[in-house]
Structure 1
Amino acid sequence: MAEKTRVIEVVPYDPVWKEQFRQIRSMIEGYIGDLILGIEHVGSTSVEGLPAKPIIDLDAVMEDYSMLPAIVERLAKAGFEHQGNLGIEGREAFNPTVPDGFMKYHLYVCPKDGKGYLEHIAFRDYLRSHEAARREYASIKMKLAKQHRHDIDSYCDGKSEFVAAILKADLDRG
């Protein structure tokens, strides 16, 4: 089961996150690079200027689910526990079980046409290119982190309406 965040801490954007992503991506590519199409930095740490929980989110993109058994096998040998989809279709979670020297991160393996992956990219790209939305989301996150300091589910639920509105607006535009 995924490790639950004990205390929700949203901190100012840190440029170190980009470098940490690059280093983690390089490590993951060393294990499964020939089985995937690429690895994307997603989540709030991927949006310059956006406050975030200091946890890097990575989506390793595979062609389709036929690649998953080989990916699971290789990542297991590298010390990653396959956690299944954790209730979100189109995304497989992996948890590192041995210290690797990196900051905390979440690794997801997703098919290239999976809803979870496509939504991660659409939301990230929208926030990167719309400063007003980025500021509004930052405000929501900071407020929720204070209100729900020890309740990650309520924190996440509180962001859902904003995220859904952005995804709908992006879909309506595209």
Structure 2
Amino acid sequence: MEIDETINVVPYDVQWPILFQNEKVNLFKAFGDDAIDIQHFGSTSVQGMFAKPIIDVLVGVKTLELNNSVSNKLIELDYEGFGETGVKGRLYFRKRQEHAYNLAVVIWNGEQWINNLLIRNYLRDNPHVAKQYAEKKLNAIHKGYTTLLSYSDEKADYVSNLLEQAKKSIG
């Protein structure tokens, strides 16, 4: 399967945190001691936020060299791997079934780990910013950016600015 896919944005679903918690249990079993921490991130982790109905999961590891046991267990959980896919320091996996999941496997407490959690926490702490971001997402869809890659490109500058705002907010 190729990386690009058709996407949509939907209103917040109260099931998203529950789906994350259930998948987190499976992922800790798959990663074993290789996973230091597993966090819910992305828009589905921000209460009230419009989002793609895909649960984003951040897996913090010591090394991106995953052993065969972990890779095989992810395959058993129906994840497919795409490597770094243009994001240095992140291994991307996804599962598309009744519920959809994206895994970002990154170095725990590394740049990808810190930046993704900074944005999540900033959006959680600033509902007015989360609302603006949701409007940006909906506008992107309405303008016809309905594939993953075009949608991601359309909002890339906005996300970059969000990260800068989040960094400034912590001093």
TM-score range, shorter chain: 0.7 to 0.9
Q: How far does residue 167 in structure 1 lie from its aligned partner after superposition? A: 1.0
| 1:71-119 residue CA offsets vs partner (Å, 9 max, x unmatched) | 335434554333211110111112348x6xx501111211113322222
Q: Distance in 2 between matches of 1:151 and 1:162?
A: 18
RMSD over equivalenced CA pairs, Å = 2.1
Q: How far does residue 122 in structure 1 lie from its aligned partner after superposition? A: 0.8
The aligned runs of 1:1-12 (5 Å cut-off) are: 2-6=2-6, 8-12=7-11
Partner of 1:130: 126
Inter-CA distance 59–150: structure 2 relative to 1 (3 Å threshold): same
CA contact (8 A) 2:63 2:107 kept: yes
CA contact (8 A) 1:88 1:116 kept: no
| 1:35-59 residue CA offsets vs partner (Å, 9 max, x unmatched) | 2111110111000010001000101
Letter of the aligned partner of 1:5 in structure 2? E
Could you say what secondary structure the match of 2:28 adopts? helix
Letter of the aligned partner of 2:120 in structure 1? R
Find out whether 1:139 has 2:138 as its counterpart: no
Overall identity of the aligned pairs, in %: 30
Q: Distance in 1 between matches of 2:149 and 2:91?
A: 19
Q: Distance in 2 between matches of 1:108 and 1:29?
A: 14
TM-score by length of 2: 0.87
Partner of 1:45: 44
Letter of the aligned partner of 2:81 in structure 1? H
Inter-CA distance 164–35: structure 2 relative to 1 (3 Å threshold): same
The aligned runs of 1:1-174 (5 Å cut-off) are: 2-6=2-6, 8-65=7-64, 68-70=66-68, 71-76=70-75, 78-96=77-95, 102-173=98-169, 174=171
Which residues of structure 2 form unaligned runs of 5+?
A: none
How many residues are treated as equivalent by the alignment? Answer: 169
Could you say what secondary structure the match of 2:67 adopts? helix
Q: Distance in 1 between matches of 2:79 and 2:58?
A: 15
CA contact (8 A) 1:25 1:39 kept: yes
TM-score by length of 1: 0.85
Q: Distance in 2 between matches of 1:171 and 1:41?
A: 19
